[in-house]
Amino acid sequence: MMNKLRTGDEVIVISGKDRGKTGTITKFLANNKCEVAGIKIVKKHQKPNPQANIQGGILEKESPIHVSNIAIYNKKTKKADKVKIEVNEKLKKRIFKSDGKEIK
């Protein structure tokens, strides 16, 4: 089975507090969640740990977002788009539904 979204894809948030922002997928996690660069930034209170050489304080980090709240971003149309998987002889390609161009 081919995934419609992959690490490194440019996506746009379609639902939530960061709606309308764009970013790149940095990694996928379990339960259909992924981390997107610059999206859903939360503050984490970190306790100092001298053994691991970690300084304490308030850190900002990216929190996972569910894949149903993001859509692939088409740079040509500057809008969210859907992905169509086209099957040729032994090859599968991801294609934008709106203009039929291949996703790279």
State pLDDT tens for residues 15-31: 999 999 999 999 999 89
Going from N- to C-terminal start, the domains of the chain cover: 10-76
pLDDT value of position 87 = 93
pLDDT value of position 104 = 82
Report pTM: 0.83
In CATH, the number for domain 10-76 is 2.30.30.30
Q: Which residues of 9-19 are buried (b: 16+ CB within 10 A; e: fewer)?
A: bebbbeeeebe
- Which region holds residue 78: left if phi is over 0, alpha if psi is between -120 and 50, else beta? left
pLDDT value of position 59 = 95
Residue 95's identity, in one-letter code, is I
Residue in this structure with the two tokens 């050489």, named with its chain if needed: 53
Contact 44, 61 (CB under 8 A): yes
pLDDT band at 3 (very low <50, low <70, confident <90, very high): confident
Residue in this structure with the two tokens 């304080």, named with its chain if needed: 57
pLDDT at 57 over 80: yes
